[in-house]
Amino acid sequence: MGANLLSKLCGSDLPFPVTSSGNVMFLEFKYTGAGSKQGFKAQWFATYGETLNGNAGDLQSPNYPGDYPTQAYNVWHITTNPGTRVRLTFDAFDLEDGSTGCYRDSLVIRDGRFKKAPILQRLCGSDLPPPVTASGNVMYLEFRSDHSVSRPGFTAHWSADCAENLIGNNGTLQSLNYPNNYPDTVQCVWTITTDPGTRVRLTFETFDVESGHVCKTSCPEDSLVIRNGNNRTARQLAELCGDDLPLPVTTSGNVMYLEFKSGRYDTRRGFRAQWKAGQSS
């Protein structure tokens, strides 16, 4: 008795999982004698869990780069800024391969805060997985190993990502958190589409993006890249940073692609711009 209360439960709603801060949990069930119900059944596991908050960071399996232990159970909760999406990129990956279904050792990545959220990926083996992106700013990872073979495991880093598809002949876009400073280590993408037969013209109202204190012909730190098409392989129209207000940028067709990246250090207010459909030449 005297320990911190984690949860007090009654009713018929299935409770969320409960995790202690250490290796001991105390449960007390009281029955008043006035009627009876079916009660409850629960499972407990030894778990290593981390709550990871922020727009960038690293995580790895236990003991990495050494082999992870057998019968391990590890959970990570990643939360980035509201309005962003969690993007997880693997630097190394080597789990015991249980073939179809990953029934031996596995890393399960879910699109949400809890273990019942939709599964984005179930991973095992030694092939390096492609990046995994959540639909929102929360990602849940669950790693399990069985009683037999262990491997070096994995190391990965997460970052904040945001994206918008903007359709219409006029509108406004702005950097994340504007007019406050944008977060560090974010990647945001906008795709603007106007009516067929028109061109997209983007005009900036304000602009303040870290330049890295180098010549204005390059942007090694934070940058806004504008392209003449609908993806990052389209022809580049401009790469912008600094605090000079850029000139308007116009596409040759009805689609414009914008990609903004910020680094780990200094951040600024960012930008606000308007787009309009213009006549095609």
> Residue 216 above 90 pLDDT?
no
C-alpha dist (Å) from residue 48 to 20, 142, 173, 177, 201: 10, 10, 41, 34, 51
What digits encode the pLDDT tens for the residues 138-181? 999 999 998 888 999 999 999 888 888 999 999 999 998 899 99
Q: Which residue(s) pair with 249 in the sheet? A: 202
- For the chain, the average pLDDT equals 90
The whole-number average pLDDT for the span 256-275 is: 93
The least confident of 14-18, 64-68, 110-114, 237-241 is 14-18
The whole-number average pLDDT for the span 251-266 is: 92
Closest CA to 125 of 91, 95, 155: 95
The alpha-carbon radius of gyration of the chain (Å, integer) is 24
What digits encode the pLDDT tens for the residues 187-205? 899 999 999 999 999 999 9
CATH code of 48-159, in short, is 2.60.120.290
- The number of angstroms, rounded, from the C-alpha of 151 to the middle of its chain's C-alpha atoms is 26
Predicted confidence at residue 94, as pLDDT, reads: 96
The top-level CATH class assigned to 168-279 is mainly beta
Predicted confidence at residue 46, as pLDDT, reads: 61
Torsion of CA 212, 213, 218, 223, to 10 degrees: 40
Q: List the chain domain ranges.
A: 48-159, 168-279
- Indicate the SS3 state at residue 65: coil
Predicted confidence at residue 215, as pLDDT, reads: 43
Strands 153-167 and 186-193 turn out to be parallel
Percent of the chain with pLDDT over 90: 62
Higher pLDDT, 129 or 20: 129
Give the position of tokens 């001991």. Answer: 24
The whole-number average pLDDT for the span 236-241 is: 96
Band of residue 266 on the pLDDT scale cut at 50, 70, 90: confident
> Residue 214 above 60 pLDDT?
no
Predicted confidence at residue 140, as pLDDT, reads: 97
Report the phi/psi class of residue 156: left, alpha or beta, with left for phi > 0 and alpha for psi in -120 to 50.
beta
- Indicate the SS3 state at residue 53: strand
The whole-number average pLDDT for the span 209-219 is: 69
Predicted confidence at residue 98, as pLDDT, reads: 67
This prediction has a pTM of: 0.65
Q: Which residue(s) pair with 86 in the sheet? A: 160
What digits encode the pLDDT tens for the residues 71-128? 889 999 999 988 889 999 999 999 998 667 788 899 999 999 888 999 999 999 999 9
Q: Does this chain's domain 48-159 share its CATH topology with 168-279?
A: yes
Percent of the chain with pLDDT over 70: 94
